[in-house]
Structure 1
Amino acid sequence: MSADDSDKVKEAMHRLFWVVEEVRRQYPRMELGQLAILLSVLAEPGMWARDLTGKVKLKKSALSRNVKALSNLSYLMDEEGNRREGLDLITQIPDALDQRAYLLTPTEKGRDLAERLAALMR
């Protein structure tokens, strides 16, 4: 690798570091699988959840749990038995013909995060 290529790699790693740090700062409990899902949805808004399964290499059940955590209501319960609030970064839009299938789109909060992360990458 040439010195110029090495400098480009270092620069890219610094930008990636700041992106990861921004996500960690705002969402300290976000898991890497959730981050992979979120970044996929931000890159391809309106994708089908089933198409994401192979892309992020998660089983359907794990994908569903992580999508719920990224949505407005988590799969986790609080002390009173109510569903905890999710991160509200993506929305699930059910298919009219198959309620098990749904499209994933970023919320306004998710789009705002995408803009901040994109700015860090420049």
Structure 2
Amino acid sequence: MTATIQFLIDVLSLGGAYALMALGLVIVYGILRLVNFAYGELIMVAGYTLYLLNGSALPWLVMAAAAVMMAVVTGLATDYVAFRPVRAKSVTAVLITSFAFSTLLQNAALLFISP
């Protein structure tokens, strides 16, 4: 019985996380009409920030706020560096830029974080 309750809690928490990620994608597309394929990498930046701060003596809420702020800063940098210069060009240019920035963030994580 205890394993079933723990399973339900795990499923609901993971489903809630996926729902929040999907909601973020819907909001970005609904407001900006921008398909951002690098959105998952912004979540990865927040996750790795939490991972790297885990060994520090900071309280959990401070670490969570730092992770959110790091994702916000990365998202703003993505917008100013990658999307604003090509947003007026064409939809294809925005999609290619989105894929390129996604690949850039993935490879940066492999370079700096992986063993």
> Into which bin does the TM-score normalised by the smaller protein fall?
0.3 to 0.5
**The structure with more helix, counted as a fraction of residues:** 2
With structure 1 as the length reference, what TM-score do the two structures score? 0.36
With structure 2 as the length reference, what TM-score do the two structures score? 0.38
